[in-house]
Copies of this chain bind each other. A is one copy, B any other.
């Protein structure tokens, strides 16, 4: 077996998802995942700390797809413009050929408490990174928190619809959900105007 395996992490990710679906998360070991991918357990542990991490492989690229578009914006862009650019950038990563994997993955993550917790951790970290970028652009901390978390809510809601079979692309879903959010929070305005 080759010492360096191109695509080893990606293969183990696919194998882990299949095993989690077939046998359940608890009944699957790191050794099972490595074997199903034609790799050794040692190779598994060169890539991942434990089996929970396998479905979170690629998180640097995931985060970069949200953060890179921010850097392309002018320094005085409004906070929500920054958030829309980040969220639409992140959504753009999820091309049609990724939907089958994403749908299976979402099903097993939603049904498995340790994976669900890890997924929330991933999204909380994303919100925090976006908020930090906003703060770095001079947005007050509270606005940065509200704007970043609103963007992550739009993303996760759009993503859930996409894996549930909505025909729109993730970007189109996010654009529509930002419109929905603006309409909903517009209901706050009558209150706001009397303050």
The number of times this chain is found in the oligomer is: 2
Cβ < 8 Å to B, chain A residues 37-84: 78-81, 84
Chain B positions within 8 Å of A121 at CB level: 117, 120
Cross-chain contact B150 with A181 (CB below 8 angstroms): yes
Q: Mark A155-195, 1 if CB is under 8 A from B, else 0.
A: 00100110000000000000101111111111111011001
Q: Is the interface of A mostly helix, strand, loop or mixed?
A: helix
Number of interface residues of A (CB under 8 A): 38
Partner of A157, one of B124, B145, B187: B145
* A153→B80 CA distance, assembly (Å): 15
Chain B positions within 8 Å of A182 at CB level: 185-186, 188-189, 191-192
Cross-chain contact B149 with A80 (CB below 8 angstroms): no
Partner of A188, one of B149, B178, B189: B178
Cross-chain contact B161 with A142 (CB below 8 angstroms): yes
Q: Mark A86-125, 1 if CB is under 8 A from B, else 0.
A: 0000000000000000000000000000000100110010
Chain B positions within 8 Å of A147 at CB level: 184
